[in-house]
Amino acid sequence: MKGVLFFLGSIFRWPVQKTNEFLILHIYLLGIYGITFLLSNVGLNWSNLVFTVGLVAPIGYLIYNGLPLDCLNYKSAIQRELNSQN
């Protein structure tokens, strides 16, 4: 339960602490939704592929750039956050 509460608190703190990253992520997601909507209205059948690749691409990019394997371990996440505040 502690881990869930920690990550929930991190989600609420993230927009305030890193506003630029928050806005870039949401602009990207809105762009993917917009492109998918336009492609589906035009009648192209591969709009679902564009949507899926658009949502999976950032995760692949993070893994390629060295996403830590313990990124969801709340004890190591707390330690990283405490180290970043000092």
Write out pLDDT tens, residues 15-60.
888 899 899 989 999 999 999 999 999 988 888 899 999 999 988 8
Q: Which of 74, 65, 8, 19 is nearest to 82 (CA)?
A: 74
Q: Which residue has the tokens 């703190």?
A: 13
pLDDT of the residue at 86: 66
Write out pLDDT tens, residues 52-86.
999 999 888 888 888 777 766 778 877 877 787 66
Domain ranges of the chain: 8-67
